[in-house]
């Protein structure tokens, strides 16, 4: 980025904190330096075409360069980090553009014409973090992806620096703008595929730049949690629209879901009810709160909503106790978010490792850590009408407490999910997503 940017002022402190974390992680694991690999371009099986390059999250935490196959960062404690930027001489393809911007002043930069030239820059006793590559055993690394080092780096990633939060606010702004365009396309009668194109255009992203494949579902498709079919044809009747789609800024993701109804109906009541309960859950995103508590509260609130909407006929307490809520809400309430859409170490119990499993009966909960100031999580409750799970409930007896007529009325709408990205701060939750929509006047 050539023009001055508010992020420029934040980047040095981000890098310094990252370097401190790396230095203590190295000390704890006995390595003297850290080499972070960006990754490599790879050809498809029996093909001369590459898959889109996806940079390693560790690399983009250090340097906001997403097009960097074959590049490395070298961190020697106490020294300015080195960016070994791979820029091949190539007339078939456009070589990666030399990075620019004030952040680059924090690095010594050397250009590699071939990734193997990095070998001469590997300090003695260095640990390598990155995709293993042919011949890396001979580069003199003390260790390749040692778990004790990775765990410490992964643990620290949950808490974002002010620079990272600023990047995530911008990702949220891009996502909100694109969601708004997608909602307008739905209202105008667009197909799933056309909505997808409207989303891409408004986000300014190519498909490969999205942090995860867009989930854009009309009607029953909304009952498939990760539906990515993008039907070209329009259904004869348009009842509902679920969109789970993100964006990224400097490699930091947003992850946003909205559900729309084509008209006022019991389904639009369900959306309104879920939206209200989602905001109650977002209000729980505070330092010190065990994230599993938010998930369990989500089940309690979903149970109340199912009773209110006449979907289940037992009490809310009974719906939770018998795991009837899991028929309609069969995924976790959210996850860590940042360099990856499902950011790592959600079950880790300490910087040095350990595993905190999800509570019994909730195997899909991706995050069991206690929130700290600066932790960014998604909050994404849902209610779906999934044939497979409804059939199981019918068979195992839980179906006795389901109002099947109501389910038959709602099933053609697929389901509803509302997802926001929220930061736990000392002064309360910061909802990145709602703030981004509000800034658009939405």
List residues near ligand GLY by CB under 6 A.
Answer: 212, 244, 255, 341, 380, 419
Is 68:85 a contact under the CB 8 Å cutoff? Answer: yes
Measured between alpha carbons, how far is 11 from 240 in angstroms, rounded to an integer?
Answer: 42
CB of 255 to Mn ion, least distance (A): 4
Q: CB under 5 to 8 A by kind: which of Mn ion, ligand GLY, none does 164 bind? A: none
**Nearer Cβ to ligand GLY, position 164 or 255?**
255
Q: Shortest distance, CB of residue 424 to ligand GLY, whole angstroms? A: 18
The size of the interface with Mn ion (CB under 5 A), counted in residues, is 5
Least distance (Å) between residue 427 CB and Mn ion: 24
d(CA 244, CA 261) in angstroms, rounded, equals 15
Query: Residue 72 CB: number of other CB atoms within 10 A?
Result: 25
Which of these ranges, 57-65, 118-126, 150-158, 249-257, lies near Mn ion under the rule CB under 5 A?
Answer: 249-257
Residue with smallest beta-carbon separation from ligand GLY: 244
Least distance from ligand GLY to the Cβ atom of residue 210, Å: 10
Residue 220 vs 244, nearer CB to ligand GLY: 244
Pattern 228-247, Mn ion, x by CB under 5 A: ----------------x---
* Binding partner of residue 133 among Mn ion, ligand GLY, none, CB cut-off 5 to 8 Å per kind: none
Place of tokens 């009309």: 218
Between 84 and 245, CB nearer to Mn ion: 245
3-state helix, strand, coil in the chain (%, to 5): 40, 20, 40
Could you tell me the smallest distance in angstroms from the CB atom of residue 335 to Mn ion?
A: 6
Q: Among all chains, which residue has been given the structure tokens 């389910």?
A: 407
Distance between CA 103 and CA 7 in Å, rounded?
9
Q: Give the DSSP letter of residue 68.
A: -
**Cβ atoms < 10 Å from Cβ of 374:** 17
Question: Binding partner of residue 212 among Mn ion, ligand GLY, none, CB under 5 to 8 Å per kind?
Answer: ligand GLY
For ligand GLY, give the closer residue by CB, 255 or 278.
255
In sign, the C-alpha dihedral spanning 392, 397, 398, 403 is positive
- 194 lies in the site for Mn ion, by CB under 5 A: no
- Alpha-carbon distance of 409 to 396, in angstroms, equals 22
CA 305 – CA 270 distance, rounded (Å)? 8
By CB under 5 A, is residue 378 in contact with Mn ion? yes
For strand 108-112 and strand 82-86, is the pairing parallel, antiparallel, or unpaired?
A: parallel
The edge-to-edge listing of strands for the beta sheet with 143-144 is 108-112, 82-86, 72-75, 33-37, 126-129, 143-144
Nearer to ligand GLY, 139 or 212 (CB): 212
Q: Which does 430 bind (CB under 5 to 8 A by kind): Mn ion, ligand GLY, none?
A: none
Can residue 248 be called a binding residue for Mn ion (CB under 5 A)? no
């Amino acid at each position: 980025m050539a023009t001055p940017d508010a992020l420029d002022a934040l980047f040095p402190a981000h890098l310094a904190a990252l370097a401190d974390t790396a230095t203590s992680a190295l000390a704890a694991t006995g390595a003297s330096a850290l080499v972070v690999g960006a990754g490599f371009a790879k050809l498809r099986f029996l093909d001369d075409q590459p898959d889109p390059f996806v940079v390693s999250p560790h690399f983009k935490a250090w340097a906001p360069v997403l097009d960097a196959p074959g590049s490395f960062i070298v961190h020697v404690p106490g020294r300015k980090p080195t960016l070994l930027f791979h820029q091949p001489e190539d007339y078939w393809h456009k070589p990666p553009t030399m990075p620019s911007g004030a952040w680059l002043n924090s690095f010594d930069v050397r250009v590699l014409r071939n990734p193997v030239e990095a070998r001469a820059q590997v300090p003695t006793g260095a640990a390598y973090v990155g995709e293993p590559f042919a011949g890396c055993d001979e580069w003199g690394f003390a260790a390749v992806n040692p778990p004790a080092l990775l765990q410490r780096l992964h643990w620290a990633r949950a808490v974002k620096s002010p620079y990272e939060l600023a990047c995530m606010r911008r990702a949220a702004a891009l996502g909100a703008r694109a969601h708004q365009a997608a909602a307008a396309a739905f209202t105008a009668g667009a197909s799933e595929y056309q909505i997808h194109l409207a989303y891409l255009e408004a986000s300014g992203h190519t498909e490969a730049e999205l942090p995860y494949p867009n989930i854009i579902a009309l009607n029953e498709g909304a009952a498939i949690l990760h539906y990515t079919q993008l039907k070209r044809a329009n259904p004869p009747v348009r009842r509902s629209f679920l969109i789970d789609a993100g964006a990224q800024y400097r490699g930091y993701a947003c992850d946003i879901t909205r559900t729309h109804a084509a008209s006022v109906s019991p389904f639009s009541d369900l959306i309104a009810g879920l939206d209200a309960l989602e905001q109650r859950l977002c209000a729980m995103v505070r330092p010190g709160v065990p994230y599993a508590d938010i998930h369990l509260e989500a089940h309690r609130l979903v149970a109340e909503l199912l009773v209110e909407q006449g979907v289940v006929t037992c009490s809310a307490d009974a719906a939770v106790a018998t795991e009837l809520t899991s028929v309609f809400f069969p995924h976790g309430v959210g996850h860590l978010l940042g360099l990856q859409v499902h950011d790592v170490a959600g079950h880790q119990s300490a910087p040095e490792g350990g595993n905190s499993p999800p509570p019994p009966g909730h195997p899909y909960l991706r995050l069991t850590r206690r929130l700290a100031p600066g932790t960014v999580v998604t909050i994404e409750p849902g209610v779906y009408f999934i044939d497979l799970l409804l059939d199981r409930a019918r068979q195992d007896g839980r179906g006795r407490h389901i109002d099947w007529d109501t389910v038959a009325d709602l099933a053609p709408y697929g389901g509803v999910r509302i997802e926001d990205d929220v930061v736990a701060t000392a002064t309360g939750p910061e909802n990145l997503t709602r703030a981004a929509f509000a800034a658009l006047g939405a």
